[in-house]
Amino acid sequence: CKDCHAVQELPIERKVLHCSCGKRTTISAGTHDNGIMTCPTCKHTQKIAADDHDGAERPAWKLFAQEYLVGTGKNCTRHFKRVEEADQALYDRASRELRMVGNGLLVPTRSIPREGRSDGRPLIHGIRDYADFFNDRQKLHLHLLGSAINRVKSVEARRCLELAFSEHLTTNCMYTAYAFGYRRTSPMFSIHSYRHITRPVELNPWQDGVGRGTFVNTVRKISKAIVFAKAPETLHPDGTRIAYEDNFEREQACLGSVNDVLNGSATAAIETQSSEKLHLLPDGSVDLVLTDPPYFDNLSYSELSDFYLAWHQALGIAPPPYDDNVTSAPILQNLAITRRSEEAIKGYQDRLQQIFMECNRVLKPDGICVFTYHHKLASAWDALGMALLHSGLLVTKVLPMRGEGQGGLHTYYGTIKWDAVLVCRKKRGVIKRGVPVISETAFKDAILEAGSHFEVLSPHKRIGFKIPDFTNLGRALVVSRSFLGEKDASTRPMSDALKNIPPPGEL
């Protein structure tokens, strides 16, 4: 109730709450809409986000309702109630215990980096330090849990628990939302960004059974991943799972350096660096490059990954050179551009070209490079095509692959749900001079091939292959058929072809 704040359960189709206090509340008419909040008393309005990084106050949260369970197993039902004094007292007790921990608190102390950011969030919402994402009870829980994990003696067991801890962070913070239509939590980074949550939810981290993101269920998730890795299964179109049969002998994973992998004493190596200079890898030493380059200006994963790095630093598990509480992720080295100026686009193209050249250098003569890409702008595909044409790699196959789920927070009209998979091999001979062009015949073939996929996939509603997916695949096929040559009557510039993808069936 907007007046007495009583909490009531109503059928989802109900539009108005008639409270026992005598007041009516129109459920869809809240105090927040499209980033603007309105004071219910004086009707003053203001934006939730500040215009700059320093203009917003740190959010303050008020506990107002709780969901509780009645019964167990299949007979378990879920209900809501108003917060009582005893509930608030429990939270206040956690705040007191947190203050008693003192300097030994295993919570990040680092500020969120500002320089080179592509997204002003969460700074414009008052979140300036990584600790600001959590309330006192969540901080206390994560401190106690992190301390317990650090005491585990088995290296393998501790590593699995650290993985579960990282996953647990996204559902145990004040950027966790409640998806009321599904009655479950929506984790932080559900849309791969710092989406500000005006009504966050705090879960019971030790609830067993029901509860997405509880630590118990997160550990189960890691356990299932281990089982799958030992006995992989493939998904059949009819929905059944079939054991994956292979003829190779699976090795016990052993982590080491790049040199260890090359001389056979290790099976895997992890390096955190730019791919523009793969100096640790000799020429012709790699069978397969499988990668996922930044999609132009879509996402800056370095900004998101720094959240996890800050926690790994607090737990003392961050690798060098990040094994302190000061060094942030290399956001400034991120390939994704933060603005669409000609200079920024040229920088993206040049750096991506250098990365592809390094991939070409380290590949064996019969090696392949496979990556995915999608973007709604022709200029993004033009930059990718230019980088590939000057890299020494040749696109030999393009395939569509579903990248987004059936629903999800990414979904809106015009969303590209299908990535283009580009398979590349080493070119033979020297890179020719000229401008990026595509023959008229090759352009028609590219559109026809994209159209054939559209004809097969688009009739099936659940598959969801729509016009944006057709255009994206068409652009990938144009890039794959373009070459460095001369503009004449039989060719057209690659950039023009990318801008003028006709609708399906209209070539």
| Short-list 380, 368, 355, 393, CA closest to 483 | 393
Residue 267 belongs to a domain = yes
Residue 264 belongs to a domain = yes
Gyration radius (Cα) of the chain, Å: 26
CB-CB contact of 148 with 158 (8 Å)? no
User: Sign of the C-alpha dihedral, residues 30, 34, 40, 43?
Assistant: negative
Give the mean model confidence (pLDDT) for residues 157-169: 95
Residue 257 belongs to a domain = yes
Residue 242 belongs to a domain = no
Most confident of 93-102, 208-217, 285-294, 413-422: 93-102
Summarised one tens digit per residue, pLDDT across range 258-306 is: 999 999 999 999 888 889 999 999 999 999 999 987 777 766 788 889 9
Residue 60 belongs to a domain = no
Residue 262 belongs to a domain = yes
Residue 408 belongs to a domain = no
Residue with tokens 């939302």: 177
**Cα–Cα distance, 445 to 163 (Å, whole number):** 46
Number of other residues whose CB lies within 10 A of the CB of residue 142: 25
Answer whether residue 413 shows pLDDT above 70. no
**Cα–Cα distance, 175 to 133 (Å, whole number):** 7
Most confident of 202-206, 296-300, 330-334: 202-206
Domain of 263, in residue numbers: 251-276
| Short-list 5, 25, 7, CA closest to 15 | 25
For helices 155-169 and 136-150, give the axis angle rounded to 10 degrees.
170
Indicate the number of domains in the chain: 1
Residue 192 belongs to a domain = no
Summarised one tens digit per residue, pLDDT across range 343-375 is: 888 988 999 999 999 999 999 999 999 999 999
Strand ranges inside 374-467, DSSP E: 393-402, 418-426, 435-439
